Every structure is written in C-alpha cells, then in structure tokens.
C-alpha cells in the first residue's frame, strides 16, 4: 500500500519532507521494471513571512499528499511553489494543490516549465508563474534562493535550487534513485549500500539517454562552488544526502562517465534451445580462466530478466559480451530490444564481443555488429556458427574472449 512519510529535516530553517512511498508501481514511465518501488519527495520550508513548497507528488497520490501537507500547514498559507521539473511524478498534484491554495502561491521555474505545465494542466495553473533566469537569486522569507538550470537532467526544464545561507541543494531528479529506502537520509550505511544499485538503475533508465549532461552539469555546479560547500542534497526521489552530501554526485559522475569496476564483464544472451547457451558456457569458462568476473543475464523459455536491471549493470562493466540467436532473419527479439536500449541509454566506449548461433542462416551477428559499430561501443569480434558448437567453433569462441582480454589489458 502506498504510504506517506512526513518528517522534520531541520529546525532552522524549519524544513520538512513529505515523501510518498509508491510500492504499487511496477513500471516507471510505463517501461522500467521497478519491483523495488520509488518515492516522490516534496519539501516544505517555513520562513518569516513565507512558506515554500518544493515540488509536489504524482497525480494518483494527490489525496495522500494533500492530507500530509495539510497536517503541516494550511495550503492557503503557501506563498511559493518551486517547480524544479514538470514531469507529472512531481507535478501531478499541482492542480488540486492550487485549488486548495486559492491560486495565491507564486510558481517558480524555467520558461520550459511554464510551457510544459500549461500543456499538461491548462492555462490557469500558470497564471501566477515567475520565470527564472539561470543563476538568478531571489530573497524569500529572508533567505537567498539561487536557481540554477541543469538542462537535460533529464528534461529541458530541469533546475535546482540552492538556499545560499543554509547551503541546501534541492535537486529534484538529479541525485535521486529508485527504491523505498527504510530511512529518510544516508545516516545508515547498510541502507545506502542497498540503495545505490537502485540509483544506478535510475540514472541509466531515466537520465541515461542524456548521460553526458550529468558530467557537464555536475562540472557546472562545481564551477559555481556549490557542490563542494553543500550541507545537504535533497532530491525528488529516494534518500536525502546529509552525512556525506558529495557522495551522491560522485556516484552520478561515475555512472555518467561509465567508470568501471575492475574485471567486471557483462554477459547477455538468449537461448531458445540451448545452442547459444553452450557457446556462452565456453565464453564464461574462458573469461574466468583469465581472472575476469562475468555477470550473466539470459533469456530462455524459463526466464526473462528485467531489461532495466541489465541496463543498470552496463556503466561499471569493463566489457560486454552479447550472445544471440538468429530469429526470422533478425536478432532474437528480446536481445534486439535490450541492445536497442543499451545503445540508447548506455552508449559508452566499452569493448563488445558478439556471439551468434543460427539454424539455416546467420543474420543476428552481422546485425548486432552494425549496431555496435555505429555506436560508441568498440567492436572486438563476431563469432557466429550453425547449430551445436564444434571443436573449431569452441576454439574461435576462446580466441574471441582472448581478443577481448587483450583489449582490456
Ligand atoms: Fe522524477 Fe523526471 O521525474
């Protein structure tokens, strides 16, 4: 059952989180399998003469969100709503909020945000909208709010807010992750360790298409001196970072840059009747002989891993090995889709070895090779043959792995 948590984060300034824990969702953006769920974080800051709401919640949880908000404040007293990003997981509750607020609050966001909100919810919601310029500062309730645009993390409308006197970064999607952590913040290392893989999966699936902008925008925040001095990072999903605020941006940077874990090789394959699997067992054996640590995902008639989980393994892998059957003169459908998303979401300079098996004509290997050579990935070799692998096929497979190992050394 979805739940809402309301907790005080700070006494001065008086700051609260309103966190909707969504354990009902199965496919984020109707695409990405997230059995781990997700949270939608909004924040409320009470200042002298001003009450500021930072983002809201998803439309289907409007009642839950508004109920929690009303326990903290009369919605009519909210003077400002900061819209960091308009995707409806953060703005779906906006129309109901504005009704309860009597349209008194000033909405603050980028010009893109204004345009998108109007498109999503109609003209009335943006009647009292203030459009910021990048780097603009505004005094609200005696505090300096600096608004910094971070476009393409992951929409063009995205910005963060830095509360200068208190060194607080409200970062919305940037710094967020999937999962419903047991704690509100990063104070428990075991919670953080369980959570970080969900962050990687979130970055790749949601922001991955624009992953070069992760590195660019973090550089921008560093250049502005904000990242180094921040006391707390308060994202729109998942944990608040207060014990070690830099850690989440370091993690984002590492994923954005595809920083590798030594020896990790991602192996992905389909096997309809075991012919590809026999080849991949040879490949896995050769990898282990060279001291590498393969992480394998396979599509068979008994299992189908989540593509979102596979994508989450790409950034820190040193290399990828793809095994595919030829299926109706094409790449096997599940590998085709997985590969399409890998090239779209995780387009890194990493070596790729291709393995194929076919019944009457080998097509998959060549088609995968074309996709790989047109991407940033480096094509190492393609080893494809008919039916059961013969001794000469085994030797070619081992040779392919040795080429991959040489590439890594
Ligand atoms: Fe969490 Fe892009 O919305």
**246-303 pLDDT, tens per residue?**
999 999 999 999 999 999 999 999 999 999 999 999 999 999 999 999 999 999 999 9
The C-alpha angle with vertex 180 and arms to 95 and 315, in degrees rounded to 5, equals 105
Average pLDDT rounded to a whole number, residues 321-345 = 97
Strand 38-47, strand 14-22: pairing: antiparallel
CA distance 279 to 295: 16
Is the Cβ atom of 236 under 6 angstroms away from ligand 1? yes
pLDDT at residue 228, as a whole number: 85
Task: Please state the atom number of ligand 1 nearest to the C-alpha of residue 206.
Answer: 2
Tell me the pLDDT of the chain averaged across its residues.
97
Is the Cβ atom of 22 under 6 angstroms away from ligand 1? no
Question: Which residues, at least 6 apart from 218, have a Cβ–Cβ distance to it below 8 Å?
Answer: 227, 249, 252, 253, 256
pLDDT at residue 212, as a whole number: 85
Phi and psi at 348, nearest 5°, equal -105, 165
- The closest residue, in CA terms, to atom 1 on ligand 1 is 173
Three-state DSSP at 291 gives coil
pLDDT at residue 242, as a whole number: 97
Is the Cβ atom of 84 under 6 angstroms away from ligand 1? no
Q: Yes or no: say if 387 and 275 are a contact pair by the CB < 8 Å rule.
A: yes
Task: Please state the atom number of ligand 1 nearest to the C-alpha of residue 88.
Answer: 3
Q: How confident is the model at residue 368 (pLDDT cuts 50, 70, 90)?
A: very high
Q: Domains of the chain by range and CATH?
A: 3-257 (3.60.15.10), 264-408 (3.40.50.360)
Q: How far is the CA of 247 from the centre of ligand 1 (A)?
A: 20
Average pLDDT rounded to a whole number, residues 4-19 = 98
**290-309 pLDDT, tens per residue?**
999 999 999 999 999 999 99
pLDDT at residue 162, as a whole number: 98
Is the Cβ atom of 89 under 6 angstroms away from ligand 1? yes
Q: Which secondary-structure segment (H or E) carries 333?
A: helix 333-345
Task: Please state the atom number of ligand 1 nearest to the C-alpha of residue 176.
Answer: 1
Average pLDDT rounded to a whole number, residues 21-47 = 97
CA distance 265 to 271: 19
pLDDT of 199 above 90:
yes
CA distance 327 to 99: 55
- 94-101 vs 111-121: helix crossing angle, rounded to 10: 90
- The closest residue, in CA terms, to atom 2 on ligand 1 is 87
CA distance 143 to 163: 7
**72-105 pLDDT, tens per residue?**
999 999 999 999 999 999 999 999 999 999 999 9
Q: How far is the CA of 48 from the centre of ligand 1 (A)?
A: 30
Is the Cβ atom of 85 under 6 angstroms away from ligand 1? yes
Would the pTM count as exceeding 0.85? yes
């Amino acid at each position: 059952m979805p739940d809402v948590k309301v907790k005080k984060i700070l006494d001065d300034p008086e700051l609260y989180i309103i966190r909707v824990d969504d354990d009902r969702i199965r496919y984020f953006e109707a695409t990405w399998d997230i059995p781990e769920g997700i949270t939608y974080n909004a924040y409320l800051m009470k200042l002298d003469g001003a009450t500021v709401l930072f983002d809201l919640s998803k439309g289907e949880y409007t009642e839950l969100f508004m109920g929690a908000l009303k326990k903290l404040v009369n919605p009519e007293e909210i003077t400002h709503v900061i819209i960091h990003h308009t995707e409806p997981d953060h703005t779906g509750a906006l129309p109901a909020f504005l009704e309860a607020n009597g349209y008194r609050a000033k909405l603050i966001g980028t010009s893109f945000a204004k345009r998108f909100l109007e498109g999503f919810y109609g003209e009335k919601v943006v009647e009292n909208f203030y459009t910021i310029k990048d780097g603009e500062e505004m005094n609200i309730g005696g505090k300096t709010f600096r608004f910094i645009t971070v476009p393409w993390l992951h929409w063009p409308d995205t910005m963060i807010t830095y509360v200068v006197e208190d060194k607080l970064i409200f970062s919305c999607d940037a710094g967020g992750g999937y999962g419903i952590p047991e704690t509100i913040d990063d104070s428990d290392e075991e919670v953080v360790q369980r959570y970080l893989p969900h962050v990687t999966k979130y970055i790749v699936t949601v922001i991955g298409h624009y992953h070069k902008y992760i590195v660019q925008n973090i550089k921008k925040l560093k250049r502005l001196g904000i990242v180094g001095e921040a006391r707390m990072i308060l994202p729109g999903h998942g944990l608040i970072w207060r014990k070690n605020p830099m850690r989440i941006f370091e993690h984002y940077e590492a994923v954005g840059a595809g920083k590798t874990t030594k020896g990790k090789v991602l192996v992905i394959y389909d096997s309809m009747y075991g012919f590809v699997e026999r080849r991949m067992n040879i490949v896995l054996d050769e990898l282990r002989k060279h001291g590498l640590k393969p992480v394998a995902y396979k599509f068979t008639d008994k299992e189908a891993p989540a593509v979102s989980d596979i994508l989450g393994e790409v950034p820190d892998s040193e290399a990828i090995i793809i095994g595919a059957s030829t299926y109706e003169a094409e790449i096997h459908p599940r590998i085709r889709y997985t590969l399409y998303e890998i090239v779209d979401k995780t387009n890194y300079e990493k070596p790729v070895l291709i393995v194929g098996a076919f019944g009457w004509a080998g097509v998959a290997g060549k088609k995968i090779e074309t996709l790989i050579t047109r991407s940033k990935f480096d094509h190492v070799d393609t080893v494809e043959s008919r039916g059961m692998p013969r001794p000469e096929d085994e030797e070619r497979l081992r040779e392919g792995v040795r080429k991959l190992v040489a590439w890594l050394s």
